Structure formats: C-alpha cells, structure tokens
Amino acid sequence: MDDLIIVLPCGFTSLYKYIFNNKSKFPCPVCQTHDITSQECFNMTKNNMAIKEKDFDLKKENFIKCLEKLQVYENDPKNIFNNSYENLQNQIDLRREEIKLILNEKIDNYYENLLEKIKLEKAAQLNEFEINDQKLRSLEQSLKALKFENNLVVQEKSSIIDNYANKIDNGMKLIQNTQDNLRANSWIFTKGTDNYQIEDIFGKLDLKKEAKSGKICDSDVKSQSEVTCKLIIDNFLMVSPKSKSVSFENKNLRWTIKAEFYKNSKNKFSLGIHLQCDSLLIFDYVKVSGLIKLLNAQNDKNNFICECEKFFSKENCIWYNKNFISLNDIYEKGFHNLATDSITIEVCLNIDIPKFFSNPSANKKVNGKVKWYDAKISYGFIICDDNNEEIFVHQHGLLKANKNERIKGLSKGEKVEFDIVESEKGREAANVRSKK
C-alpha cells in the first residue's frame, strides 16, 4: 500500500506513504505551491478507487496465503482434530482413574470405620451381658441360700422378704433388658443419597479463560442521556442456550443487558433480551427510548432491530422481550458469525432524566383529563383540553388541596388542572389537582 501512486489535486502524483503519514494540512510534496490534506487526496474518485482496489488485492493475497496454510491440514483433518483434543481426552481419562482410586480409598476407609463401630458396639454389648449375667447368677445363689430361721420376729422376716422381692424385680428387668439386647442391636443402617453432583467430584469442561463467551465492547457514552454499547457472545455454538449478560454505565446509571434463551411449547429456542436499570437511587424514574439490534454478520442492512421504549422506575426497572428472535433465524439469516463463532447485540439508548423546577411556568393553569395512570409504576399521561397534547405526569406532580399533601394516583378520564414544567427532554405536568 505504501508504494501506491496517488494523484494530487495539482495533477502531479506521489506515493501513498507520503500522503497517509500527514494528518493535518501540509505543502504539496511535488510542486510545493499549495497546501493539501490527506483526506482531500483520498476523497478524489481515482484515488479512492485505487486505494479500494489495492486494499482488495491485499485482502485477496492474504486470503490465498491463509488458504495455502489450511491446505496442509486438508489431507487428514480428522487426525489433526484427534491430536488437538488428545491432551484433553487424556486429562479426562486420567481424572477418571484418579477418581476411582480416590473414591475407592474413601469408600474403603468409611467402610472400615463403620465395621469398627460395629465391632466396638459388639464388644461393649458382650461385656455388658457378662456383667449382667454375673449379677443374675449371684442373685440366684443368694436366693437358693436364703433360709428363714424359726426364731425370727415377724417384722425382721417381713423386711428380708421385701428386700429380696425388690432384688427379684430388678433381676427380672435385667433379664428382660439382656434378652432385648441379644435379639437386636441399637443400630440401623440408613442408605446415603444417590443424588450427588458427579461434575462437582469429577470436574467439567469449561471454556478457556481467553474464550469466555460474554463481553462488552465499543461502549460509547456520548452524554448522560445517550449511550451505545455492544454485547458480543463468543463461542456461540458452545454456550447457547445458556444466558449471558454484561453491565455498562452512563454516569449516574448502571445498566445490564442480558441475552437468554427460552424454549417454547414446540421445544424451539428463541433469544430473549433483558435490559435492566440497576441503580435508580437518585432518580425516581427515567424515560428510555432506543433500539436493540442483532447485527448481521454478512450485511449491515439486514440487522434485526427491535424498538425499546419504557419508563424505568424503582418498582419497574426491567424491559424484556422473550421472543426477540428464534435460534433458527440466528443461524439461517446470517446473524451468527461462523468465522468467530459469535453474535453481536448492539444497544443504543436515549435516556431522559427528568429535572423538575421548583417554580412552574408563569403560563395560566392548563386543563385536561387523564389518559391513563398506573399507581404501581407511579406515572401516566394527561391529555390537554386545548390542543390534545399528551403530557407526562409522575407521582411527584400530584397535589391535594393542601399543598403539603400528595395523592397516590389518578383515575382514567379524571378532569385535572395542572402546570407544565420543562424536563431535559420534554414537557411534564406539575401541581396536578383534581377538579372533582
């Protein structure tokens, strides 16, 4: 490109590199009798075509070189792919064997622990049985040896009988407990759950760090009221139908754009778009109008465009379209960039942040009726009686008869009187009073 011949406005010629490297006005490099700019030269029809042809030739040359490199792989692409994925498969095979060893060891250790508990329990039960048996045999011997002398007084004999009767009762309880322990142990085996997440143990396939699928680029904040950004979803074939989102800011507001796939009743997937205002802290609401675009990878004229218009408030801070475009259309109509395996979503927003003035305009009071008002989102519209103009009204602008009070809402068709104030991008109603 540097050696491309460029025609100068004076009729002489020069090389592209001498023109391109000059950014501002400079003397003609040939005749030195007039000043020129590089853009002036490049805009000349002949030069423009020459540059375009040269650029095309360079692209074609680069394409052919890349194609020649690709031809090396065309003879045996299967083997090349096998080699490319061999290391990954080896890691998975190795992990499989590792997990088997680890789990077998853990299972065996746990198994041995359970058996050790049973062994200790059996030993304790046997020891308890032997002690109890000795107590019972001792009581048996005492009972066999028991004799009452004839000269015992009644009270003493009665006391001995009561004492041995208690020993016999306790012995019967001991016999029953011993028999119960012999028939059944005190443990029960409860099976563990089979509902474990094997991927948490084994591992999973994840995208490489450099191939993460959601990223934001070309964020252009022109002002507090205008912002444009692009959400690029890379590795689209691998990540769909997962959801991806990114956030961007325009001064005091933080926005999140999310792309998510939904399955309809026919088991077909469609791409849904969510736009959320995450930081409505210092504003009660903002008015947003804009475009959500899915850029066509082949032709900009075929971009898929959806209009977005909404009043975002603290209570209602999300705009969404679940059926933005079908997954089939993304693939079949050129929105999926095969070369980069990506799709690009562009968001262009115009954001109107109201700015109420404490002093309404000096014009006379305006009369009108309510077109609609939604108390849940705290805003609506009033139609002026004199010119049918629709005026936006927010809950801030509603007043009761007592100026220090506020009313919560308006009814459809209700007649009202109000002032008109200017926001940054439009007229809004203030000091709205019902004429009931």
Cβ neighbours of residue 16 closer than 8 Å, sequence gap 6 or more: 1, 2, 3, 4, 5, 6, 51
Indicate the pTM of the whole model.
0.39
pLDDT of residue 354: 60
CB 363, CB 299: distance < 8 Å: no
DSSP 264: -
Phi, psi (5° rounding) for residue 368? Answer: -170, -175
The DSSP string of 3-36 is T-EEE-TTS-EEEHHHHHT--S-EE-TTT-SSEE
pLDDT of residue 5: 86
The helix (run of H) or strand (run of E) holding residue 229 is: strand 226-233
**Percent of the chain having pLDDT more than 90?**
8
Closest CA to 181 of 126, 137, 134, 135: 126
* SS3 state at 332: helix
pLDDT of residue 400: 59
Query: What torsion do the CA atoms of 36, 38, 39, 40 make, to the nearest 10 degrees?
Result: 30
Per-residue pLDDT tens digits for 314-326:
777 888 888 888 8
Token pair 């444009």 in the structure block, residue:
228
pLDDT of residue 361: 43
DSSP 408: -
pLDDT of residue 258: 83
pLDDT of residue 364: 61
pLDDT of residue 247: 64
pLDDT along the chain (436 residues), means of 10: 82 82 80 85 85 86 81 75 81 90 92 91 86 88 85 86 90 86 78 81 68 49 67 69 59 75 78 78 70 89 89 78 87 84 86 54 73 84 87 78 62 88 71 82
CB 201, CB 99: distance < 8 Å: yes
Hey, what long-range contacts does 140-149 have (CB within 8 A, 24 or more apart)? 142/167, 143/168
pLDDT of residue 222: 53
Query: What torsion do the CA atoms of 71, 74, 79, 83 make, to the nearest 10 degrees?
Result: 40
Dist. CA 255–CA 158, nearest whole Å: 95
* SS3 state at 413: coil
Bridge partners, 258 (sequence order): 245, 274
DSSP 397: G
* Cα 396 versus chain centre, distance: 34
pLDDT of residue 101: 92
